[in-house]
Amino acid sequence: MNDDLQPVTVRPSAGFMWRHPARLLALGFGSGLSPKGPGTAGTLWAWAAFVALQPWLDDAGWAWVIGAGIPLGIWACAVTARDMGVADPSAVVWDEVVAFWLVLWLLMPTGWQGQLAAFALFRFFDIAKPGPVGWADGLFHGENPATTPWGWARAGWAIMLDDLVAAACTLLVMALWRVW
């Protein structure tokens, strides 16, 4: 940080990521370092990790992983955003990871087509930010986390919140689709 409390922007790299466990988590174990579409890369990583872990985790296990992943993510996203000097860096993808795990956990069992539809819907809600997703995303925008009380902690919460709302919207659309 400089003397004016204005954050100094840091570009993430593998070296930056490996220097702190919060960064490793927030950057989605490297998926957020993708030069194109880091949020999509993070969501694809979440999908692959879910499929890989599914044989070892039952519903209670997923509940624990996701339940712990949210507050851990708030911390990791806050630390990484602070270290990067950006309130909501695009390279921070743990929010996509946990939110998409929540979608997949609540949708299972579903086939490949259902998972693909959920992926497409989740990415739509996360990118376009319609309705409640845009509301959640805009709650803390315009604030300088370096100068507001609890600024970086609030930034971590804001990073996670809009993706959790996108997950809820995805699940609502998928539930309505199944009913019809």
- Quick one: pLDDT band at residue 152, thresholds 50, 70, 90? confident
Confidence check: pLDDT of 3 > 60: no
pLDDT of residue 25: 98
- Listed by start position, the domains of the chain span 14-179
User: pLDDT category, 146, cuts 50, 70, 90?
Assistant: low
38 closest CA partner among 58, 11, 62, 64: 11
Count other Cβ atoms within 10 Å, centred on residue 12. Answer: 22
Tell me the torsion sign for CA atoms 112, 113, 118, 123. positive
What's the pLDDT tens digit per position in 80-127?
999 998 889 999 999 999 999 999 999 999 999 999 999 999 999 999
pLDDT, position 30: 98
**Average pLDDT of the residues in 133-137:** 93
Kindly tell me if the per-residue pLDDT of 2 is higher than 50.
Answer: no
d(CA 23, CA 30): 9
Instruction: Check whether 48 has a pLDDT greater than 60.
Output: yes
Least confident of 18-22, 51-55, 134-138: 134-138
Which one has a higher pLDDT value, 79 or 8? 79
Work out the mean pLDDT of the chain and round it to a whole number: 91
Taking residues 149-177, report their average pLDDT: 91
Among candidate residues 52, 71, 54, the one with its CA nearest the CA of residue 62:
54
Which pLDDT belongs to residue 1?
40
pLDDT band, residue 9 (cuts 50/70/90): confident
Token reading at 153: 């902690």
Give the integer Cα–Cα distance in Å for 7 and 145: 9
**CA distances in angstroms from 42 to 59, 100, 143, listed in the order given:** 22, 9, 26
- C-alpha angle with apex 92: 118 to 84, nearest 5 degrees? 165
